[in-house]
Copies of this chain bind each other. A is one copy, B any other.
Amino acid sequence: MRDVAEAANVSTTAVSRVLHGGGPGVRVSEERAAQIRAVAERLNYRANALARNLRTSRTHTVGVLFENMRGMGDGPLYTTHLLDGVASVLFRNGYRLTLLAEIDHNNVIGSLGDGQLEGVIWCKLARDEETVALIRSTPIPIVAFNAATPTDGEATQYVNCDNEGGMELAVEHLWELGHRKIAFVYESEEYSTPDCIARREGYDQAIARRSGVPLTLGSPWYLVF
């Protein structure tokens, strides 16, 4: 930047203002501005984001943390779609996305506090005490995704799936079409997950509410389709 400033016979301030949007009211004459841009182009100037980040304490980067990243390729495509959606929204708004390693929590604390992230989307947030404590002391905002419902007034945003409500809607839909034998089918490997449990309960209740006959089928039934 100094090279550009000297070559253009202006201050680095002027260069900064012209090339990087400048502060409130970019007060540089169009003449000078054009000249600066020309020189910058000629000198092949590239702004250094590291310096700017340090100075402004902003990185335009948010982290995404998966509780188990390994499984991204296995199982259902849930994780993949999630990442895809998060990425597209972030990019659209000029943000970068950094994938965080789901390693030891000590390191997680370090990651969240080192200034490189402006926020974190935490998928499948565990609700153990350690994690809750971490959340309380984190210097940046965290959004918990697909986590268990929050217990108390934590300083965290949650985006969750309304499993019970969804099952109620699903059963209602089929019921109104006249169906009475409505099965709940699950993948055996998911059976003990909170989501699956909640859905099954939602299904049971929705059926019971209509005095219907519950029917639950394990994953082998999939092969019938």
Residues of A within 8 A of B (CB): 46-51, 53-54, 57, 59, 61, 69-70, 72-73, 77, 80-81, 83-84, 87-88, 91, 96-101, 103, 110, 113-116, 139
Q: For residue A127, give the distance in angstroms from its CB to the closest CB of chain B.
A: 24
Closest beta carbon of chain B to A114's beta carbon, Å: 4
Q: Residue on B with the closest CB to A86?
A: B99
Q: From B69, B80, B99, give the contact of A72 (CB < 8 A).
A: B80
Residues in chain B near residue A70, CB distance under 8 A:
84, 88
- Among B53, B84, B101, contact of A69 (Cβ-Cβ < 8 Å): B84
Which single residue of chain B is at the shortest CB-CB distance from A110? B46
**Given A96-B99, A99-B87, A46 and B81 touching (CB < 8 A)?**
no
The answer to whether A101 and B110 have CB atoms under 8 Å apart is no
Given A48-B115, A139-B46, is A84 in contact with B72 using a C-beta cutoff of 8 Å?
yes
Q: Complex Cα distance A51/B53, Å?
A: 9
Looking at the assembled complex, report how far the CB atom of A15 sits from the nearest CB atom of chain B, in whole angstroms. Answer: 16
CA–CA, A109 to B81, complex, Å? 27
Contact A115 B50 (CB under 8 A): yes
Asked if residues A49 and B114 are in contact (CB atoms below 8 Å), the reply is: yes
For the complex formed, measure the closest distance between the CB of A71 and the CB atoms of chain B, giving whole angstroms.
9
Cβ contacts under 8 Å, A87 to chain B: 69, 99, 101
- Which one of A50, A69, A99, A114 has the highest number of Cβ atoms from chain B below 10 Å of its Cβ? A50
Contact A114 B46 (CB under 8 A): yes
Chain B hits for A50, CB < 8 A: 50, 53-54, 57, 59, 114-116
Q: A46-B110, A54-B51, A54-B54 are in contact. Are A103 and B91 (CB under 8 A)?
A: yes
